[in-house]
Structure 1
């Protein structure tokens, strides 16, 4: 699995010509660990500054299957964080279509921290979507989910990525209630 992820991302990054000389080993040993370390820092910041779920949010999280809904924090920000200051990670995000011209990231989960762009209505179906991402991380861990998500984006695109498909099902399910 790691080899597929690395090969896919190396191919995408190499196609930009900026990173044409990066090897799979360099990506695995240098680039993805940087992103993962950054993601853990963002989670920690969110846990310290975020707002706990209210009673209805906790009930929703429990219904979704989250084991520790009391740990979830919501952080409203002007823009969802991404390590733009790191040129290699910025190029990776651009190559994957994760960031860039015309792409607006309304919400993103880092562990138990849910970052939400100010002005984005985090209604029940949308909160359910983000809580599914919390559950995915809780079932595995942040490192593995980041690796899978990067691979999925490269292979399937955002709308068809398996982690997103599961989360979109929650949008539908909780919009009907």
Structure 2
């Protein structure tokens, strides 16, 4: 299945980017800015524009309505019922039961830094999805970078 997903990446990435851009807009409109502690964490992690970040508390991380995109996210284990946070550039969904989890927010801010470094949603997704499909979500280098960033801050 992973080889099929790799072959589909040129079609999946633009679909995923379109879905993600809509989700980011929602978060930026309805979300709240980072706390002063999270702003400091984001700066430490390397976010260039932490003041642009907005967090949106949500009961469950949304899954794309497009069946191909939803299936790809499930197969790559990117969006599961256990997903606690999802970053889309400067917009971050945080599951309501994880709302005050400083380490999770720091982890997600690390992904924001990656989006900034890579130049946008489509560029980030092309690399991130490829890594998650080829290597596996937990071992993907971009995901490991976010884990390392979350470990920079305390509890």
| Distance in 2 (alpha carbons) for counterparts of 1:82 and 1:155 | 21
After TM superposition, the structure 1 = structure 2 runs for residues 1-177 of structure 1, keeping only pairs within 5 Å, are: 11-12=4-5, 24=7, 28=10, 30-83=11-64, 85-99=65-79, 103-140=81-118, 141-175=120-154
Deviations 1:45-99 (A, max 9, x none): 110100001222212212222121110000010111220x211112212222224
**How many correspondences in the alignment?**
154
| Distance in 1 (alpha carbons) for counterparts of 2:138 and 2:9 | 25
Which stretches of structure 1, 4 residues or more, deviate above 3 A after TM superposition? Answer: none
> Aligned pair in 2 of structure 1 residues 172, 31: CA closer, same or farther (>3 Å)?
closer
Give the TM-score, by structure 1 length.
Answer: 0.78
| Distance in 2 (alpha carbons) for counterparts of 1:82 and 1:58 | 28
Cα contact 1:9–1:92 (8 A) shared by 2:
no
Gapped runs of 5+ residues in structure 1? 1-7, 14-23
Query: Which protein is bigger by CA-based radius of gyration?
Result: 1
Q: Determine helix, strand or coil for the equivalent of 2:139.
A: coil
> How far apart are residue 10 of structure 1 and its match?
5.2
| Distance in 2 (alpha carbons) for counterparts of 1:136 and 1:45 | 20
RMSD: 2.0
